[in-house]
Structure 1
Amino acid sequence: MTTILAGIEQSSIRTERLAASVLRREVDGAEGQRPVVLIHGNVSSSLFFQPLMLALPRPSIAIDLRGYGDSETLPVDATRGLGDFADDVASVMDALGLADAHLLGWSMGGGVVMQLMLDRPDLIRSVTLMAPVPPHGFGTRLDGSLCTPDAAGTGGGGANPDFVARLAAGDATDEAPTSPRSVFRSSYVAPGFADEHEDLWVESMLSTKTGPDNQPGDGVASESWPGFAPGTRGILNTMSAAHLDLTGIVAIERKPAILWVRGAHDAIVSDESFFDVNTLGKHGVVPGWPGEEAAPPQPMIAQTRRVLDEYAAAGGAYEELVFETAGHSPHIEEPERFRDAFLRHIEAND
């Protein structure tokens, strides 16, 4: 049974692409205001947005992506990058009659929002990117060039099999470092963070559907270290630079203002992330690392800043906001500060 907080309604929206689970909150006296549309990241769902939705003084909609939450489980074609997800979101917004909305994308969801900037600019009034996937995709150097021709070390082959097995089994314990609850504590938030909603966050993580067409996806062998490369199916392959390039946002005609929010203690998206196999190699966790020149740790933050600087130079605008005490989830770690910054951005671009 999905845990829905008081004040939020859940419904299923059938589009030509999928049956999508949607959380909605209406606000008395806010009729006619542009809504906020919230897009979650990998190994999560719309449940992570409920406290934020309850704190916002305007209508909000959170959409479960395919294979997450209570949305339909459908295959993910990784050769389209994040295109399947972006098209799904667009179909839900079209079905709800939403356009010119304020979009927030978290982690992988930030990449989905950037894909929508490219494909459906009519849907977007402003953009908030929270700990987003780097626009070049994974497996790249600062300038976006591939470290190896086949983006070795990225994609479904890099997933921890025990973590995936525990997701599939619905493990809600903290008995192992690979238990989803332990991963939440070690990677989703800064060290020492705790709140009353941890069971809800774990429930959200456990809604992730597993398998080669979903989480994590497939992989293929590579002649380059560490011996695997991305496949063509499933979640992790969508974010490999073999299939993903979102840097086209620099050249789009309609450039919504962007608020980029990140936590200083983000363990997932950083310039030396332990979710990056090259970083693991550098620190001896994965043996045989061929060195900095061949396999440098991916500078995810620097890459995002570089692309957003180009976006601004081409006529757009962005603000980078760092939450010094937060990790990968500023909206739950510093909820009041996040809400205030988010609202300022929305109201400045309403």
Structure 2
Amino acid sequence: MTLFDGIVARTVNTPRLAVNILERSGDDPATPEERTVVFVHGNVSSALFWQEIMEDLPGDLRVIAVDLRGFGGTEPAPVDATRGVRDFSDDLRATLTALGLHSVHLVGWSMGGGVVMQYALEHPVRSLTLQAPVSPYGFGGTRRDGSRVTDDDAGTGAGGANPDFVARLAAGDTTADAATSPRSVFRSSYVSAEYATAHEDVWVASMLSTKTGDDSYPGDSVASENWPGFAPGTRGVLNTMAPKYFDVSGIVDIVVKPPILWVHGTADAIVSDASFFDLNQLGKAGVIPGWPGEDAAPPQPMVSQTRDVLEAYRAADGEVTELEIEGAGHAPHLDRPGVFRRALLQAIGYIKPRHDPAPPTEAIILKSED
């Protein structure tokens, strides 16, 4: 039983693939697009992770959560990593078109944040909510300005996945017997240490819906002469975020700029300026031997990169609100659901902010106690 009361799943057939979506059973399909919110999950997860926030949003909104290809109940079509995350964003476009939707509010988590930014580069969007998003320059292998550390993006992509974690995903491991068990990874990396829930089995089931292999998660890799000895291949999920294929910093230059809400937690273990999912950070910490030093293999300042790009977006007359939540992990919508809910309702214009709106050249930085 992975679906909550009032949440229903159905298949949307598109010219690209069959896509699984979650909806609320009482939502009106005729709801105007300005009150339609679409959620896009991150890596090693699915739409199931959005169910609590879907339940908690007002009933006069239409709320949809989409499974990306290879996750949840969506068709496990191969992922062409050389397109960055465009396979995912094109699938999202096809899904919304099949639903008769043109411009909606998009919420993207982690890799899903990259997907919705890519979507906004090519299609109209009413607002973007980015929760713990992948850096606009991808995952790993770049300096603060987005420049690539090596020509082949050594140390990024599928080769960085822990093989035991991948094997346990494929085997459907529901235990917490090892640090690499999906349940253990959820506890240590997705949420804060204080997080408690009655729904952990559902979240683990969501993780285990991930399709594994060279065409899915994590993808393929190739040998590299640069430390740590591998580089991204051309297939699969993790390679879509390699900097040679992924760069959505061009969002600064789109003509019609949707308002952006950026939500992130100070205890995020995955997306941070010192991420322990970044192999260069692991090398610097001595976890992986042979690290060649800061000049050759610097850790990626992921949060600082996102802030730089969003500050440039703001300077180009875009509206940005930053919500930094003290103590929250990689999934603020689970760690601090009330704070996340209110911020999202403000972002889509459903309720007014408690604070006076910031001038267009300034950020509003909210703390969890707000």
Shift of 1:253: 0.6
Alignment of 1:100-115 (within 5 A): 100-115=103-118
Corresponding residue number in structure 2 for 1:48: 49
What is the alpha-carbon distance in structure 1 between the residues aligned to residue 187 and residue 106 of structure 2? 27
Q: Deviations over 1:23-57 (max 9, x none)?
A: 01155689534210000000000000001001111
Code of the residue aligned with 1:76 in structure 2: it is: V
Alignment of 1:143-292 (within 5 A): 143-292=145-294
What is the alpha-carbon distance in structure 1 between the residues aligned to residue 184 and residue 103 of structure 2? 39
Corresponding residue number in structure 2 for 1:339: 341
Q: Is the 8 A contact 1:38 1:62 kept in 2?
A: yes
Q: Which 10-residue stretch deviates more, 289-298 or 176-185?
A: 289-298
Shift of 1:8: 1.1
Corresponding residue number in structure 1 for 2:119: 116
Q: Does 1:94 align with 2:97?
A: yes
What is the alpha-carbon distance in structure 1 between the residues aligned to residue 30 and residue 313 of structure 2? 33
Q: Secondary structure at the match of 1:248?
A: helix
What is the alpha-carbon distance in structure 1 between the residues aligned to residue 28 and residue 122 of structure 2? 33
What is the alpha-carbon distance in structure 2 between the residues aligned to residue 240 and residue 195 of structure 1? 33
What is the alpha-carbon distance in structure 1 between the residues aligned to residue 260 and residue 310 of structure 2? 9
Q: Structure 2 unaligned runs (5+)?
A: 353-370
Q: Does 1:71 align with 2:70?
A: no
Q: Does 1:59 align with 2:62?
A: yes
Change (3 A) 1:152 1:349: farther
Q: Deviations over 1:253-289 (max 9, x none)?
A: 1100000000110000000000000000000001000
Q: Is the 8 A contact 1:64 1:71 kept in 2?
A: yes
What is the alpha-carbon distance in structure 1 between the residues aligned to residue 130 and residue 248 of structure 2? 13
Q: Is the 8 A contact 2:27 2:62 kept in 1?
A: no
| TM-score normalised by L of structure 2 | 0.92
Code of the residue aligned with 2:107 in structure 1: it is: L
What is the alpha-carbon distance in structure 1 between the residues aligned to residue 281 and residue 27 of structure 2? 49
Choose from 292, 296, 306 the match for 2:298.
296
Corresponding residue number in structure 1 for 2:12: 13
Q: Secondary structure at the match of 1:37?
A: strand
What is the alpha-carbon distance in structure 2 between the residues aligned to residue 31 and residue 307 of structure 1? 36
Q: Work out the number of aligned pairs and report it.
A: 347
Code of the residue aligned with 2:151 in structure 1: it is: P
Code of the residue aligned with 2:51 in structure 1: it is: Q
Q: Structure 1 unaligned runs (5+)?
A: none
Q: Secondary structure at the match of 1:297?
A: coil
Shift of 1:242: 1.2
Change (3 A) 1:349 1:194: closer
Q: Secondary structure at the match of 2:348?
A: helix
What is the alpha-carbon distance in structure 1 between the residues aligned to residue 9 and residue 197 of structure 2? 23
What is the alpha-carbon distance in structure 2 between the residues aligned to residue 125 and residue 140 of structure 1? 30
Q: Deviations over 1:202-241 (max 9, x none)?
A: 0000000000000000000001000000100000000010
What is the alpha-carbon distance in structure 2 between the residues aligned to residue 28 and residue 119 of structure 1? 28
Shift of 1:349: 9.5
Corresponding residue number in structure 2 for 1:3: 2
| TM-score normalised by L of structure 1 | 0.97
Code of the residue aligned with 2:67 in structure 1: it is: D
What is the alpha-carbon distance in structure 1 between the residues aligned to residue 80 and residue 27 of structure 2? 40
What is the alpha-carbon distance in structure 1 between the residues aligned to residue 222 and residue 56 of structure 2? 45
Code of the residue aligned with 1:177 in structure 2: it is: A
Q: Is the 8 A contact 2:345 2:351 kept in 1?
A: no
What is the alpha-carbon distance in structure 2 between the residues aligned to residue 249 and residue 349 of structure 1? 26
Q: Is the 8 A contact 1:255 1:316 kept in 2?
A: yes
Q: Is the 8 A contact 1:217 1:237 kept in 2?
A: yes
Code of the residue aligned with 1:187 in structure 2: it is: S
Q: Secondary structure at the match of 1:61?
A: strand
What is the alpha-carbon distance in structure 1 between the residues aligned to residue 101 and residue 245 of structure 2? 29
What is the alpha-carbon distance in structure 1 between the residues aligned to residue 351 and residue 147 of structure 2? 34
Q: Is the 8 A contact 2:27 2:63 kept in 1?
A: no
What is the alpha-carbon distance in structure 1 between the residues aligned to residue 102 and residue 337 of structure 2? 27
